[in-house]
Amino acid sequence: MTEAILEPDLPIIDPHHHLWDLRPMLPAFPEPRHPFLDAIVGAAYYTFDQLHADVSSGHNVVGTVFMECGAFYRANASDEMKVLGEVEFVNGVAAQSASGLYGPLRACASIVGHADLTLGSKVGPVLDALEAAGNGRFCGIRHQGAWDADPDVLGAPFHAPEGLYGSDAFRSGFGEFASRGLTFDAWVLEPQIGDVTDLAKAFPDQKIVIDHCGTPLNIASYHGKLHENFDRWRSSIHALAECPNVSVKLGGLAMAFCGMPEHGPAKGVGSETLAAMWRPYIETCIEAFGTDRAMFESNYPVDRWGASYPVLWNAFKRITSGHSADEKAALYAGNAARFYGIEELLT
């Protein structure tokens, strides 16, 4: 699907993308595959070259934030320290981009890694090592808590323990983490949004962002129930937004989990159709959090399931066509820059 780029001069900081090489893992993936795996297998190798091609496809993406995805872990490290490999790898990509040899883009200007917060107070040395490995770019962690009673919702790659964010072990580690001034990305599914609200209330000084509009579900036992569950989702989003330390990422709706569109990967749905599907979720999040605590994200390459990179941003721009220039500047770049500490990209 090829479209003319809307508002091509609007600066964008993409605060959520991944880099990985899944090719060695392909034989281990289950058959038949979960739709999520179908999507990512289509981008089994997604590193700087692919990212650069996507972000250079017409929109004015000035910088990005890498989001942990379990990639390039150290092979010969202890279980808790394997995560350093991902930050080391991404820091190299960031240095490659910062050289200027590949244009003005500053990819991976901030790096969100992973540490197992269920280590409790023992997570401290891991966080110290991550900060050292990031060479000034490491800004925080994501410890995903996605769980559902229906195992077909998430498929093989995920399944955090039920109630992870409320467990004693996790809260102990989160207390150690929260003393460091880092960011926390929370990924849960729509029925779990209240878990993030409880966590945010318990740690009111910790900056938290919920990924993917809280991940409304249109898959497995939730298929066809988006409309039925919309009011529950909206109520949960508004309750979460009452926590002033929480922001929201506007995106992720093109994932197979959300099923907007239902069929992928890369079926060529246009931005007008996508904007119509996503508008109720995006507009509700902006209404709840305001234009100062919301940021658009690509979630690439996972959202390749439903949209090419240029079409995805066109859909967002259609939804915000009525917003002021200042509001757009915040939603597309300013809020992400402030949250992840990369304001220099906008100067």
Query: Which domains are delineated in the chain?
Result: 11-346 (3.20.20.140)
**Which of 176, 220, 168, 204 has the alpha carbon at shortest distance from 189?**
220
Q: Residue 247 has what pLDDT? A: 99
Contact (Cβ atoms closer than 8 angstroms) between residue 337 and residue 346:
yes
Sign of CA dihedral 161, 166, 168, 172: positive
What is the residue whose two structure tokens read 């010969």? 76
CB 66 within 8 A of CB 88: no
Enumerate the β-bridge partners of residue 208.
Answer: 184, 246
CB atoms within 10 A of CB 334: 20
* Residue indicated by tokens 């401290």: 124
Beta bridge partners of 67: 112
Predicted TM-score of the model (pTM): 0.97
Give the C-alpha separation, 267 to 298, whole Å: 17
Angle in degrees, CA 171, 91, 79, rounded to 5: 45
Cα–Cα distance measured from residue 193 to residue 233, given in angstroms and rounded to the nearest whole number: 8
What beta strand segments (E) does the chain contain? Answer: 11-17, 20-21, 45-46, 60-67, 106-113, 138-142, 183-186, 208-210, 246-250, 294-296
Q: For the chain, percent helix, then strand, then coil, each to nearest 5? A: 45, 15, 40
In this structure, what token pair is assigned to residue 213? 């509009």
Cα–Cα distance list, 336 to 37, 245, 262 (Å): 28, 14, 29
Averaged in consecutive runs of 10 residues, what is the pLDDT profile of the chain (347 residues)? 92 98 80 75 88 96 97 96 98 97 97 98 97 97 97 83 97 97 98 98 98 98 98 98 98 96 89 98 98 98 95 98 98 98 97
How far, rounded to the nearest angstrom, does the alpha carbon of residue 222 sit from its chain's CA centroid?
22
- Distance, in Å, from the CA atom of 297 to the CA atom of 166, rounded to the nearest integer, reads 27
pLDDT of residue 181: 96
CA distance 77 to 75: 6
Whole-number pLDDT of residue 242: 98
Closest listed residue to residue 255, CA positions, set 314, 227, 215: 215
Q: Using alpha carbons, select from 299, 280, 282 the residue that is nearest to residue 291.
A: 282
Residue 335 CA to residue 295 CA, distance in Å, equals 6
Contact 89, 72 (CB under 8 A): yes
